[in-house]
Structure 1
Amino acid sequence: MRQAPSRRSKRPFPRALVAAVAVVAVAAAAFAWWRGARSEGAESAWRTVAVERGDIRVAISATGTLSATSTVTVGSQISGQVTQVLVDFNDRVTSGQVLARIDPSTYEAQIEQGNAQIASARAQLEQAQATLRNAELDYRRKAELVERQLVARSDVDLARAALEQARAQVASAQAQIRQQTASTQTTRVNLDRTVIRSPVDGVVLTRSIEPGQTVAASLQAPELFTIAEDLSKMRIELAVDEADIGQVQAGQQVTFTADAFPDRQFRGVVDQVRLAATTTNNVVTYPVVVSVDNSDGTLLPGLTVNAEIEVSNRKDVLKVSNAALRYKPVGDAPAPAAAAGRGGAGMLEDLRRIADGLDLDAGQRAAFDAALEAQRKRAEAMRQGAGQGQSRGPGGPPPGMMVVGGGTPPANVQAQIRQRMLERMKENFADFTRLLDESQRKAWDAALASSLSATRATIYRLRNGQREAVQVRVGASDGTSTEISGPVEAGDEIITGERARR
């Protein structure tokens, strides 16, 4: 008989322990959910962009027309019928080459007539000279006889008058010869002008005459041909708006396209900014001449081009989206300012950068450091005074600096403030500038004036979930991003807007 196996008794699991584990699990899940929701809410409360390092290219757009660098209009100084036209459109010509001929028969006949008149005048001269010789002999004979009282003195007077008349006739005949010779020479010049020659080497752009056509040059020289002297060098005359002309300077690079060659981009250089403004429908534009290399002969005179003048090309700079410069807190208290110790900020940092570029010796560096420290203390004292309700001085943002997005004083007030600030800075750093040589002093003064007139803006950086105000110096902008400098670094999150709170 098989014995049944013995059954072990099981201990029941304590209910208290199960309840404790369940409570801990629920609390941990709740805490994790709360922390994630809080983190998500903090991150989503702001819209931000990162400060980037890159390039900013600023360009001005304009339209214009291509033309040859030197274009010569060939006309006719005489009237007549065209007998020959020896060149056509696009023909290459050399200096002195015959382009056309005008009927010369009229001028040839005038030359023959002039030669005959000259011959007649010479015959009259010979006759007058013979009369002169006879008058001279008659006068000498009578002058000798009057001494012996063989002739009356009145006869001598008559002989002298006849001699003078003969001399006058000779002079008149000589003048007539010169006159006829000059007239004939003028006719010869006009005869030479019946042959139209090219004044330069180039290409015929236009031809406005045909054989058999009559040219009338009574009032002005008619235009017969237009010759482009050298199509390997061309130019563009751009019409630049008055709002942009202040940024255009000779030597700036230009890129342009033409509808005839949509897949190609051409380059040129600003050669001249002309002062002759043009007003069309109350829009003022200035002509800007751009020189273009056309060695391959691709570009054609008269093409309309769309050009961009590169007025600034900043390489490897800090930049931020323009939306960050437009953002201003609404309804909240102003955010605390960023600490100035991070890399230096504002005017003091600008002064340090200026001094670093002057190649200072030990004595000059010591004087600069002392002046900079004194300036820092003055600024700190002004900030403390402003915090206690006293009148604000130059300790905060430099006076006169325009703040993007905020109210600005009128232009004349800004200029006065900047001038006073410049004078104060020169006075504060007088001991330092006395140690500079002439070139260093000029560089310091120019950089200081540029820094004081710079545009500054307040942006808001997100750090550790908190918003803080940072003042930066604003540079070039390409319409999307703007160059900034100051207490910011690449990667900093800058606020561009606030999300709606749920």
Structure 2
Amino acid sequence: MPPVRRRPSKAMFVVVAIGLLALVAGAAWWRGARSEAAESAWRTVQVERGDIRVAISATGTLSAISTVTVGSQISGQVTDVLVDFNSQVNQGDVLARIDPRTYEAQIEQGAAQIAGARASLSQAEAALRNAELDYRRKSDLGDQQLVARADIDLARAAYDQARAQVTSTRAQIRQQTASTESTQINLERTVIRSPVDGVVLTRTIEPGQTVAASLQAPELFTIAEDLSQMKIELAVDEADIGQVRQGQTVAFTADAFPDRQFRGVVAQVRLAATTTNNVVTYPVVVSVDNGDGTLLPGLTVNAEIEVSNRADVLKVSNAALRYKPVGGDVAPAPSASGGRGGGALLADLEQVAAGLDLTPEQRAAFDAALAAQRERAGARAGTGAAPAGARGAGGPPPGAMAMRPGGGGGDAGMQAQLRQRMRERLQEQFAGFTRLLDEGQRQRWDAALATTLGATRATLYRLVDGRPEPVQVRIGASDGTSTEVRGTLTEGDVIVTGERAPR
């Protein structure tokens, strides 16, 4: 009989399959373990795209834009008070009255004195006419030598006295008339009227109370002119005041309305600094629309001044900006041109040019200047030129960074000089391009160039194939947690924030 061939059992197939799967899983685990071991040596974060909002917190008090204090210029007893707290008043409305009888009596007395003075004037004018006639008669007779010269002189003196008496009486009438008019004004002041349209905030008098205005005008009422428009006076710390500008948006809340958020606009940054317990603050006035009448004068508010709001930008955790490799300084990221840090600056210049709406001729001039700039930077890198800070009077190489790796600013005076030299060098090298720009383009180019050179730059360390690679970036706004970055980074890049201790 021929031998019987046994077919492989199902159990053998299962065993072989399990073995193959184990080999594949082991290989995958081994590769993952190697990758994890390479990356686990670093603490990292990813570059994200999102919004960065920078706000300054401050407290203040709501008040009316214009508040008028109504007082009394005269003394007397208050007879009527016609308004109360929160009363709506219009300009000219009567608020209160002071007893007018004293001033009415003074006016009657003055009128009587004026009448008496006018009667005296009539007598003086009659005496003047008589003295004038007497003097003329005696003067004519004196020409005929019929009277003595002494009589003529006496008649002349009597005439002059009568004329002076008339002048004096007229002056008395004017004086008494002015006094009466002054009393009439005081009589009108016994009626206290509202100088503006508004609402009564405070009232400090009651009927029957005596007002004494001998030294200063007493305050009777306080009127808020218009509560539909209000203001907040915030106390902003000196460390933050440099970021506050007129027109910035302000969001605030009040304890009286915890579920609502209100908005306003910075109207004024005042220069009158206040020092309290060695803390210097500046008053910032915020205008608020209160058309619905919700907000009340005197409310304490907690406000946030939005000094920057960057939407849809690349950002990275601030921990990445603080990281520096162990073992000393590390050279900045090499640029595309071969220079030390020049790539970021040249990339910024390309972005500036892209926003100028250049003509073909202007674009060709810019490209030529940019290519020459890259060539010079590459030549310096190839010849091992000295670092920017050690070039002496010759200044840094074109496109070299004035910031130290990692964002260190160095000496402020030296940094300012380096930026100025760099600006002069760039203006010289791009002179042919700028001559082709119109006035508007040239102003935008100069402003953008100044902003670019004055920008803060830092070195981040991107993790590539398990090793950190230095990348220079331009730093933008920061909200305290994340910071806007510009450069050769892309969303999702892994950035080193620290090194893990070996296990």
Q: TM-score, normalised by structure 1?
A: 0.91
1:273 aligns with 2:269: yes
2:4 and 2:385 map into 1 onto residues whose CA distance is 81
User: 1:102-135: per-residue Cα shift (whole Å, max 9, x none)?
Assistant: 1111111111111111111111111101100110
Post-superposition offset of 1:458: 0.4
Question: Which residue matches 1:360?
Answer: 358
Q: What does residue range 44-193 of structure 1 map to in structure 2 within 5 Å?
A: 44-193=40-189
Cα 1:389/1:147, change in 2 over 3 Å? closer
Counterpart pick for 1:321 among 317, 321, 340:
317
Q: Please state whether the residue corresponding to 2:159 is helix, strand or coil.
A: helix
Deviates more, 1:264-273 or 1:358-367: 358-367
Question: Which residue matches 1:287?
Answer: 283
Asked if the contact 1:335–1:468 (Cα under 8 Å) also holds between the matched residues in 2, the reply is: no
Question: Which residue matches 1:3?
Answer: none
Q: Please state whether the residue corresponding to 1:240 is helix, strand or coil.
A: strand
Cα 1:40/1:399, change in 2 over 3 Å? closer
Post-superposition offset of 1:156: 1.1
Post-superposition offset of 1:332: 8.0
Question: Which residue matches 2:439?
Answer: 438
User: 1:45-80: per-residue Cα shift (whole Å, max 9, x none)?
Assistant: 222211111111111111110000111000000111
Deviates more, 1:424-433 or 1:161-170: 424-433
Q: Please state whether the residue corresponding to 1:126 is helix, strand or coil.
A: helix
Question: Which residue matches 1:498?
Answer: 499
Cα 1:325/1:242, change in 2 over 3 Å? same
Cα 1:231/1:402, change in 2 over 3 Å? farther
1:50 and 1:491 map into 2 onto residues whose CA distance is 5
Instruction: Provide the alpha-carbon RMSD of the alignment.
Output: 2.7
Post-superposition offset of 1:303: 0.5
Question: Which residue matches 1:226?
Answer: 222
Post-superposition offset of 1:399: 3.6
Question: Match of 2:265, as an amino acid?
Answer: V
Q: Which runs of 5+ in 1 are unaligned?
A: 1-5, 14-19
Q: Please state whether the residue corresponding to 2:384 is helix, strand or coil.
A: helix
Asked if the contact 2:332–2:459 (Cα under 8 Å) also holds between the matched residues in 1, the reply is: no
Counterpart pick for 2:344 among 327, 343, 346:
346
Post-superposition offset of 1:21: 12
Deviates more, 1:216-225 or 1:47-56: 47-56
Question: Which residue matches 1:17?
Answer: none
Q: Please state whether the residue corresponding to 1:386 is helix, strand or coil.
A: coil
Q: Percent identity?
A: 73
2:92 and 2:186 map into 1 onto residues whose CA distance is 17
Question: Which residue matches 2:415?
Answer: 414
Cα 1:196/1:253, change in 2 over 3 Å? same
Question: Match of 2:277, as an amino acid?
Answer: N
Cα 1:403/1:464, change in 2 over 3 Å? closer
User: 1:294-322: per-residue Cα shift (whole Å, max 9, x none)?
Assistant: 00000000001011111111111111111
Asked if the contact 2:398–2:425 (Cα under 8 Å) also holds between the matched residues in 1, the reply is: no
Deviates more, 1:373-382 or 1:67-76: 373-382
Deviates more, 1:410-419 or 1:305-314: 410-419
Asked if the contact 2:88–2:199 (Cα under 8 Å) also holds between the matched residues in 1, the reply is: yes
Post-superposition offset of 1:147: 2.0
1:320 and 1:449 map into 2 onto residues whose CA distance is 25
Deviates more, 1:43-52 or 1:127-136: 43-52
Counterpart pick for 1:262 among 241, 246, 258:
258
2:229 and 2:74 map into 1 onto residues whose CA distance is 33
Q: TM-score, normalised by structure 2?
A: 0.91
Question: Which residue matches 2:11?
Answer: none
User: 1:164-219: per-residue Cα shift (whole Å, max 9, x none)?
Assistant: 11000000000000000000000000010011000001000000111111111111
Q: Please state whether the residue corresponding to 2:347 is helix, strand or coil.
A: helix
Q: Please state whether the residue corresponding to 2:383 is helix, strand or coil.
A: helix
Q: What does residue range 205-220 of structure 1 map to in structure 2 within 5 Å?
A: 205-220=201-216
Post-superposition offset of 1:381: 1.8
Asked if the contact 1:81–1:213 (Cα under 8 Å) also holds between the matched residues in 2, the reply is: yes
Asked if the contact 2:236–2:284 (Cα under 8 Å) also holds between the matched residues in 1, the reply is: yes
Counterpart pick for 1:401 among 400, 403, 406:
403
Q: What does residue range 23-38 of structure 1 map to in structure 2 within 5 Å?
A: 31-38=27-34
Asked if the contact 1:461–1:493 (Cα under 8 Å) also holds between the matched residues in 2, the reply is: yes
Question: Which residue matches 2:295?
Answer: 299
1:159 and 1:336 map into 2 onto residues whose CA distance is 115
Asked if the contact 1:233–1:295 (Cα under 8 Å) also holds between the matched residues in 2, the reply is: yes
Q: How many residue pairs are counted as aligned between the two chains? A: 489
Post-superposition offset of 1:467: 1.4
Post-superposition offset of 1:411: 1.6
Question: Which residue matches 2:475?
Answer: 474
Q: Please state whether the residue corresponding to 1:476 is helix, strand or coil.
A: strand
Asked if the contact 1:457–1:471 (Cα under 8 Å) also holds between the matched residues in 2, the reply is: yes
Question: Match of 2:65, as an amino acid?
Answer: T
Cα 1:337/1:143, change in 2 over 3 Å? closer
